[in-house]
Amino acid sequence: MALSEEEIAQIKEQLLQQIEKFPDEQREAAKQQIEAMDGEQLEEFLEKNKLIKQKGEGGCIFCSIAKGETPSHKIDENKSAIAVLDINPLSKAHSLVITKKHETTEKSPASVLSLAKKIAKKLKTKFKPEEVKIESASVQGHGIINIIPIYKDIKLEKKKAEEKELQELQEKLKKKEREKKPKKVKSLEELPLAPIRMP
């Protein structure tokens, strides 16, 4: 499976994010090693470290994120897809919707696009961008949808997001769990019986 330049760049960005918690010396050495790899060396590294399956078996970083094997900043999900914050965003709150199955967005169910639209609406409400672009792509044969907020007078520029910023954005965007309301009593028969007290 030959990797395209875009795929190589995205995988390298993911790997660089993974080594952030390494001690300084180790992180610097790993960073230089990752940046020096060409497509073939990168693919070999991924296979050796079981980040992708051996040639001919498929597998990719997005499958790993969707399965929860690779850490991500999840903000929502449905039965077909997972929504996460991009670790190298083009703008504040740039998000990705990743299909749970290894398939292109053209072959994925409508619920994948509906999750992307839901996230776009949430981004508009929370951050008030001028517009929100929804762009589908296929990386390593895996369908992803970019949800990119466009802000007035702010140029789109890919840069590495800080962990703290990602956590704050995740907190603002995460799907809130609804509290279960106590069941309303419809009639006196449904009320629990109190113990009989003798005076």
Based on the domain organization, do 26 and 110 belong to the same domain? no
Q: How many domains does the chain have?
A: 2
- Single-letter residue type at 84: V
Q: Which of 102, 135, 81, 112 is nearest to 1 (CA)?
A: 102
Using CA atoms, how far apart are residues 114 and 118, in angstroms rounded to an integer?
6
For the chain, the 3-state helix, strand and coil shares in percent, each to the nearest 5, are 40, 15, 45
Residues 134 and 80 in one domain: yes
Amino acid sitting at position 80 = S
Same-domain pairing of 92 and 46? no
pLDDT at site 57: 40
Please report whether residue 134 resides in a domain.
yes
Number of residues that make up the chain = 199
Count CB-CB contacts under 10 A for residue 29: 12
Residue 199: predicted pLDDT: 62
The dihedral over CA atoms of 133, 134, 135, 139, expressed in degrees to the nearest 10, equals: 120
Q: Is residue 187 part of a domain?
A: no
- Cα angle value 88/139/20 (rounded, 5°): 30
Range of the domain at 148: 70-174
Give the pLDDT score at 55: 41
Other residues' Cβ atoms within 10 Å of the Cβ of residue 65: 21
112 and 44 in a common domain: no
Q: What is the pLDDT of residue 123?
A: 94
Specify the DSSP class assigned to residue 131. E
User: Quick one: 120 and 75 in the same domain?
Assistant: yes
Per-residue model confidence as pLDDT tens digits over 129-181: 999 999 988 877 888 999 999 998 888 888 888 899 999 999 988 866 555 56
Going residue by residue through the chain, which has 199 residues, state the pLDDT in tens, using 9 for 90 and above.
567 777 788 888 878 877 777 788 888 888 888 888 888 888 777 777 656 554 434 457 888 888 888 889 999 999 999 999 999 899 999 999 999 988 888 888 999 999 999 999 999 999 999 999 999 888 778 889 999 999 988 888 888 888 999 999 999 888 665 555 666 655 666 666 666 666 6
Do 22 and 103 have their domain in common? no
Sheet (strand 74-77) strand order = 74-77, 81-85, 95-99, 142-150, 131-139
Same domain for 136 and 85, yes or no, is yes
For the four alpha carbons of 17, 111, 90 and 36, in that order, the dihedral sign comes to positive
- Do 153 and 80 reside in the same domain of the chain? yes
pLDDT, position 71: 87
Say what the pLDDT of residue 39 is: 80
Dihedral of CA atoms 154, 157, 159, 161 in degrees, nearest 10, equals 40
Asked if residue 140 lies in contact with residue 108, where contact means CB atoms within 8 angstroms, the answer is: no
